[in-house]
Structure 1
Amino acid sequence: MIGLAWHTIRARRSSLVGSFVALALGVGLLAGMALTLASTIGAGDRGPTWYVTPQVVVSGVDTVSVTTGSGEDRETESLRTDQRLLPADLVAKLSTVDAAVVVDHAVPAAAAGAPGDTLHPWSASTLHPFGWVAGGPPTAAGDIVLTAPTRHRPGDEVTVHSVRGAQRFTVSGVLDGAPPALYTTDAVAADLAGGTARAVAFAAPDGGSGSALARRVREAVAGDTDPARKVRVLTGNDRRRAEPDPDGDKREVAISLLATTCGLAGFVSVFVVAGTFSYAVAARRREFGLLRTAGATPRQVRRLVLGEALAVGVLASAAGGALGTAIAPPFAAWLARSGFAPDDFTAHFIFWPVAAAFGTGLLVALTGAWLAARRAGRVRPVEALREAAVDGRAMPVVRWVVGLACVAAAVPMIAVFSSIRSADATALVMLVAMLLIVACAMFAPLVIPPLVWLLTAPLAAARGATGMLARNGARTAVRRTAATAAPILVTVGIAAATLISLGTLFSAVESATRDRITADAVAVPAGSPGIADATVEALRAGPGVTAAVPATDTRVFVRDGDSPADWLGRYIHGPDAARVLNVPLDAGSLADLTGTGTVAVPAGRWKLGETASLWLGDATPVTLRVVAVLTPQVDLTDTVLLPWDLRAGHARPLADVVYLRGDPPSTVDGVAVVPVGDFVSVADREQRDTNRLAAIAVLGMALVYTGIAIANTLVMATADRSRELATLRLSGATPRQLVRMVGVEAVLVTCVGVLLAGVVTAVVVAGMRSALDGLAPSVPIDAPWRVLGGITAACLVTAVAASVVPAALLLRRRPVELAGIRE
């Protein structure tokens, strides 16, 4: 059997090379995505960069947790929040600890031409090493110290935008080697912070024990049991947890994006590899028939096939692992450049993702080969020889079982996401599309004959030899047609279902957003970290302005079963909201959204007059009275409206946007006033750009792989048709006619794949539109026809080229030589 296996390997090089390429690239894709995802683990672990010199740091908590069960069954789910500020009385209490104490106030602030987005007291400069570029520390209330690189020098005047609006300061010095920040005198920083602090840092006097200092600090805060005032006492590398983590959100985005990408990569890899190996074995029925006639047992046939699959699988999976290791770093770098990951994010070699991809590829290859080999080993010798010409039973039991299972799984999912009437339906889009694609691939042998008959009706009417041959070949060799159409189905199906569904969702959100804003103009920050209350008052007092309503978005956290859920919280002045926003309500009134104990909630979870328990963005637990219930809308999903006065001490003391009614001034220091249409258009354009890059990140690598798979599968299929082409040549067909026949068949295969992909897309998009119906003023189907047309055209060109070129090369041989090429 070893000699026989070696002979078949040499005789069927094209088939084995095709299998090798499909598996190597599939494992490479899966390994590359898995490596990139695995590289996010621990990516944020580092030592402190701000709190370098103190031994102990006290800061507010930055997590919310839900604990369930008890004993061994006790489980806790946590989410990261903004860091809670330390109140002024707690700061005063901590300042009495016997140690060198630095109270680190941190205020959002920015100055043109200077790095950093927070302002700190000068005493905080001792918390980390630094050097001087020029000048010295601030001594007067109007002094400020900047960090390099900056164009400013000591003596320059700069405008600083902070919680007090625009203020003028004089540069007293420029630091080198310090983290980006702005420094004023301690008194000015404390005044701007309202007495609150981001952290309090401690250093033991005269090189004393850090552990003893930490114990004294813990004793100082031990008596305060109010959960809203809970603090953390941090030492060692944990001190970095008191520092802002500007890359935290990017890491979460990268993890979410890469999880989706990795799932899609796994699906297309398994789909293509299983199909390729199954087809490669099924195409050898004549060879197996000869082996059975020569006395080989079914077990020997299966051992032969599995032995070849094992040899190819090991080599190809190893090559794929090396390829994945090579493509992961460039992909990670692209994610960082595109803003989906931190700037310093890199992918590095980790053994277990590569090993998992290796094992997955090998298992899928052996499974695909084994399923096909079982059927090949069961047939009688004469039947095998007869089946080599025409597909008799193209729908084995396995196809029925897998196809029906996928349909059975997809139907309830479609029903669910069509009825939940929420944007959350998008989470099921790709999964439903995958199930339907597999189902279409399994049932392809049933639908291919009528589809080909329909597509080739014009060719039949023309009565040309080329059209007749192509038509008959595609209809009778249904296994070959199904196998070659499968990569086209997955390429177009995944792209179309995903892009059209997400485009439709975004169009619905855009429609709702445009309908929501009834203001005449919108004020947005310009060169400042936000809009200060003083600036809001200046806008409100402007001539011709009848309403100026600020709003700030934050995160809130709501218990969802056994874990906290991340929702959107929007602070807004309720009594004036109706003058600038069209917020549909099921019950209550936004005019009651006042004080610090009220909330407006989405319908379905709470009722009017009930109390809602949640955590604010800084992890502060609150219980608020429901004064309004929002009508379900696509842009208000998982959103609560909070009273403006509750923002103090819990959210950034700056507004993200101010909605204006009347005729506002065109220029205000630190603010840009723009028409509502321009504001929405810019936001929509930015969102579309982000969505486009996200689609590239999720679909790009997978579509490149499936594109290669199209070419690979069709090259294999054409190379295995040497006997058929030889017979046609001996029957009088010319090489040109046969090349045209192969080209027409490639076009038919592409059409079949695209039509099946169209069925998948239509079902998914119909479900998505049903889910969004009534959640927005309009739900237009938004299809990127140019992109989808380009993908379809690329599939067609690839299919034709991958079929015609190998056929033309085969037909350069004499018919007799061609007929014996496999024997």
Structure 2
Amino acid sequence: MLSIAWHTLRTRWVAFTGSFVALALGVALLAVMGQALAASLGAPARVPERFAAAPVIVRGQDVLRVATPAGERTADLARPRPVPAGTVAALRALGPVTEDRSFPVRTSQAEDAPAAPGNLVGHPWSTARFAPYGLTAGRAPEAADEVVVSGGWTTVGARLRTADGPLRVVGTVHGLGFENAVFYSDAQAARLAPSVVQLVVEADAAAVRAAVADDGVRVLTGSSRRLADADPGRDAEALTGLNALFGTAGGVTAFVSVFVVASTFAFAVDRRRREFALLRTVGATPGQVRRTVLAEALFVGVLASATGCALGAYGAPVLGDLVVEGGLAPGWYAIGGPGTGVWPYHLAFWTGLSVALGGALAASWRAGRTAPAQALREAAVDGRALTRGRRVWGAALLLTAVATLAYALATDPGDLLHRKTYVVRPMLLITAVALLSPALVRLLLPRLPGVVGLLARAHAVAGIRRSAAVAAPVLVTVALAGSLLGATATLDEARADEARRQTSADFVVTPRDGATLPARDVERLRQVPGTLVSATSATSVYTLEDGVALMKSEARAADPRLLAQTARLPVTAGELADLDDGSIVVTGEWARHRVGQRVPVWLGDGTARTLRIVAVLAVGTGAYGAYVTPANAGGAGVDRVAVRVRPGADPAAVAAGLRAVGGVRVMDEAQWARAGRPEPNRTTLLGLLLVLGIALAHTGISLANTLVMAAAERRPALRALRLAGATSAQILRLAATETLAVVGAGALLGLLVTTVNLAGMSAALRLLSAPSALVVPWTAVGCTTGACALLALAASLTTTATALRHPPSREHGVRGAAGKARWRARTLTDEYAPRD
């Protein structure tokens, strides 16, 4: 049977080309994603930047440590504690101590220099020598309005306008690449940022550790000094995003590859019924027929997987360069380096081979199950397109999809809002609908007007297996595009609606730089005539659930009396007005969420408290969490101010007064609702586009392969039409009409899957008290359907035009009008005979 399989591949290479290309592309993508994941498993050891020349750094407590029966649990604090004054005094006895401060510098523009970067950060000048920064021009700052800046965006003598007053540039230093620094005199920096979170000690490290052993601070030396730099965990966060990106893309690649290869093999086996019938007639056993099909899949799988691994080795470095250039990965990130190893290639190769064999397994079973006495009779006409196996598996998967959705809605509707869930869940429903597609496509095929429309529908229904094979990849692509992009759009719309419903303020004021508002600016806002001002702070609280899990919850700190007048929070139990310094407002997601319960928590700075629950909020989209008073904010600064216009006051005058405060952004209610719609995450957006690109590429390959394989069986009908007097243009129009009708049916099935998936998410939002209409991404669905239609039309018209090159009478030796009539009648009967 191996020799038969080999000769079949040689003579029917066109039929296997699509499977080969689809599988090779899938293996290549898997190899690339595997190498990308391997390259993101660990970041290189980052060297200290701001404190490269500092001997010892002492940093206030920035990690919460909680002892549990299962061991110590840790979490990064939302706001590190300042170094205690007693510790600073003890350290000064050991050697020189330099206090470090970092704060945002909000500047509009330089008066006589180019516009300033938008991410300026201020430091005391005494810390510049630890980077080290060296003066390239000018001198050190001395007066309160003098600064030294890094980089080449301005020059000595330039004047800057900032929220803290005008500044004069008296010196410049080379930029070191990791920040845009503005150095103040030490005295002015202390006035702008009084808190000292870390400091540099020029003394022996052992002596420093001995001096601070019981103070809860951290002593950083050597490579650990990098933890004193801004955002030391940015590499880990970037790698987490890359893992999610490439993991999702790899999973979808595997799913689409299995789907395309399995459907391609199934269609190829169905088109070879007469061939298998002859093998069964001459004595081939069912096992031999099945082994022939599996041997063909083995040959194709080995060659395609090897080719895919070679393509993956070439494409991986290119992908690494693209994600770095796009700002999605750190500059050091590279794919395909010496540390990657060979496991991504093993994973891709054996996965590809397994996909090929798995995709051919069901087809081989169908090929070998026909009894010898029935072989030739079954080869003469199509059997049922919707076989028992397809009905059973399709119904089982459909019931599973519905049951798991209902279970999630009943037990944990919030799980449906997670990215992993709304990426994976559509695949179950897509597979179920694809298995049932022969019956569904027949129902969805439109009744088109005219002779061409009538013939197009009749041809599509007569070859329902071919129609289903064309519609299935369209279903996958449209369903993925609609479900993935629609899920993010629906969530964004829900968050915007939630922000609109939960504010009763006329204006919302936030800092332009995204940091916090200085106390003097908050006071200036309160002094605007005709306003009621509620200032809130973003913080975190930590709880120990089940005695072993240390959980971090986002929280906001606010005056409860003012909060009640500027916000409409979804309280499900208790009273918001009862909030005080000894209590907390929680959401229904908390393990303890009954009014009156006392819950041990740790504040944003690690302070342990036991607070009483006075109110419970609906879960919503998860955009908000607990509420505490400013006394429990853990030292967090104000980052949002809600403003109500008092009765009788002029809203325009109030808005003008608010905007007079420098460095703030003033939004009315509608603008705030729009701001509540989060900006698309670049990594997430790229991942979705990559997933859709993979699906569309496989769709094009599958459509072309299916239509090429079906070209041979369509030739009798085309010849009959030509003998009946149809022109080549009319036949091409017939092929185009049939193709568009089938693609449209597949797109409708994809839209059906999209609607069901988005309806489940919308129901989850309603259960979470965040009702929002589902958002179907019509643009994406339309573009995806259009691309599928273009691909299918190109393949269909090409194969049809090729079949029309030879006159039917000469090709078949038909002579005379009577002979042509008999041949035409027989051809049409074979082509349009009922087959299901």
Specify the TM-score bucket, using the shorter chain as the normaliser.
Answer: 0.7 to 0.9
8 Å contact from structure 1 (residues 78, 563) kept in 2: no
Matches within 5 A, 1:398-797: 398-400=389-391, 402-419=393-410, 423-427=414-418, 428-452=421-445, 455-456=446-447, 458=448, 464=451, 466-467=452-453, 469-526=455-512, 529-544=515-530, 546-559=531-544, 563-595=549-581, 597-603=582-588, 605=590, 606-617=593-604, 620-626=606-612, 628-632=614-618, 634-635=620-621, 639-647=625-633, 649=635, 651=636, 653-662=637-646, 663-664=654-655, 665-672=657-664, 674-677=666-669, 679-680=671-672, 682-683=674-675, 687=678, 690=680, 696-729=685-718, 731=720, 732=723, 734=726, 736=728, 738-773=731-766, 775=768, 779-797=772-790
- 1:320 matched to 2:308? The reply is yes
Query: What is the deviation of 1:25?
Result: 1.9
SS at match of 1:641: strand
Matches within 5 A, 1:4-403: 4-43=4-43, 45-60=45-60, 62-63=62-63, 80-82=76-78, 84-89=80-85, 91-92=87-88, 95-96=91-92, 98=94, 101-111=97-107, 112=109, 117-153=120-156, 155-161=157-163, 166-178=164-176, 179-197=179-197, 199-204=198-203, 213-224=204-215, 230-245=216-231, 247=234, 249-328=237-316, 341-342=329-330, 346-348=334-336, 350=340, 351-381=342-372, 383-396=374-387, 398-400=389-391, 402-403=393-394
Instruction: Report the RMSD for the aligned CA atoms in angstroms.
Output: 3.5
What is the percentage of aligned positions where both structures have the same residue?
Answer: 35
SS at match of 2:54: coil
8 Å contact from structure 1 (residues 156, 170) kept in 2: yes
SS at match of 2:600: strand
SS at match of 1:233: strand
8 Å contact from structure 2 (residues 556, 627) kept in 1: yes
Q: 1:208 maps to what in 2?
A: none
Q: 1:390 to 1:55 in 2, by over 3 A?
A: farther
**Amino acid corresponding to residue 495 of structure 1 in structure 2:** A
**Amino acid corresponding to residue 356 of structure 2 in structure 1:** A
Query: What is the deviation of 1:314?
Result: 2.4
**Per-residue CA shift, 1:181-227, capped at 9, x if unaligned?**
22233344344443422x233455xxxxxxxx444333333324xxx
**Amino acid corresponding to residue 683 of structure 1 in structure 2:** A
Query: What is the deviation of 1:516?
Result: 1.8
Query: What is the deviation of 1:363?
Result: 0.9
**Amino acid corresponding to residue 201 of structure 1 in structure 2:** V
Judge which range, 424-433 or 380-389, deviates more.
Answer: 380-389
SS at match of 1:484: helix
Give 5+ residue unaligned stretches, structure 1. Answer: 205-212, 225-229
SS at match of 2:639: coil
Query: What is the deviation of 1:26?
Result: 2.0
**Per-residue CA shift, 1:427-463, capped at 9, x if unaligned?**
23333311111111122234344444xx33x56xx5x
8 Å contact from structure 1 (residues 735, 808) kept in 2: no
Distance 1:298 1:355 in 2: 33
Distance 2:432 2:374 in 1: 29
Distance 1:621 1:394 in 2: 68
Distance 1:673 1:180 in 2: 23
**Amino acid corresponding to residue 671 of structure 1 in structure 2:** G
8 Å contact from structure 2 (residues 385, 464) kept in 1: yes
Distance 2:298 2:68 in 1: 47
SS at match of 2:680: helix
SS at match of 1:306: helix
Q: 1:30 to 1:387 in 2, by over 3 A?
A: farther
Distance 1:502 1:275 in 2: 30
Q: 1:816 to 1:80 in 2, by over 3 A?
A: farther
**Amino acid corresponding to residue 363 of structure 1 in structure 2:** S
The alignment's TM-score, normalised by the length of structure 2, stands at 0.84
**Amino acid corresponding to residue 183 of structure 2 in structure 1:** Y
8 Å contact from structure 1 (residues 29, 702) kept in 2: no
**Amino acid corresponding to residue 626 of structure 2 in structure 1:** V
8 Å contact from structure 1 (residues 36, 329) kept in 2: no
Q: 1:207 maps to what in 2?
A: none
**Amino acid corresponding to residue 659 of structure 1 in structure 2:** V
**Per-residue CA shift, 1:162-181, capped at 9, x if unaligned?**
xxxx1444433222144532
Distance 1:97 1:391 in 2: 94
8 Å contact from structure 2 (residues 604, 633) kept in 1: no
Distance 2:77 2:274 in 1: 65
Query: What is the deviation of 1:489?
Result: 0.8
**Amino acid corresponding to residue 625 of structure 1 in structure 2:** L
SS at match of 1:134: strand
Give 5+ residue unaligned stretches, structure 2. Answer: 110-114, 647-653, 814-836
Query: What is the deviation of 1:250?
Result: 4.8
**Per-residue CA shift, 1:373-414, capped at 9, x if unaligned?**
232133234534443443324445653554344234312321
**Amino acid corresponding to residue 749 of structure 2 in structure 1:** L
**Per-residue CA shift, 1:57-98, capped at 9, x if unaligned?**
33345555778765xxx6x77655546233333541551474
**Amino acid corresponding to residue 176 of structure 1 in structure 2:** H
**Per-residue CA shift, 1:342-400, capped at 9, x if unaligned?**
57655445343343233222211111113312321332345344434433244456535
Q: 1:425 to 1:4 in 2, by over 3 A?
A: closer
Q: 1:195 to 1:768 in 2, by over 3 A?
A: closer
SS at match of 2:565: coil
8 Å contact from structure 2 (residues 495, 676) kept in 1: no
**Amino acid corresponding to residue 397 of structure 2 in structure 1:** C
Distance 1:270 1:66 in 2: 47
Distance 1:36 1:63 in 2: 31
The alignment's TM-score, normalised by the length of structure 1, stands at 0.85
8 Å contact from structure 1 (residues 725, 738) kept in 2: no
Distance 2:514 2:399 in 1: 55
**Amino acid corresponding to residue 699 of structure 2 in structure 1:** I
SS at match of 1:721: helix
Q: 1:801 maps to what in 2?
A: 794
SS at match of 1:200: strand
Q: 1:45 to 1:724 in 2, by over 3 A?
A: same
Judge which range, 802-811 or 313-322, deviates more.
Answer: 313-322
**Per-residue CA shift, 1:505-530, capped at 9, x if unaligned?**
32222122112222222223246843
8 Å contact from structure 2 (residues 257, 355) kept in 1: no
Query: What is the deviation of 1:22?
Result: 1.0
Q: 1:679 to 1:328 in 2, by over 3 A?
A: farther
Distance 1:528 1:713 in 2: 48
Query: What is the deviation of 1:254?
Result: 4.2
Q: 1:507 to 1:468 in 2, by over 3 A?
A: same
Q: 1:575 to 1:173 in 2, by over 3 A?
A: same
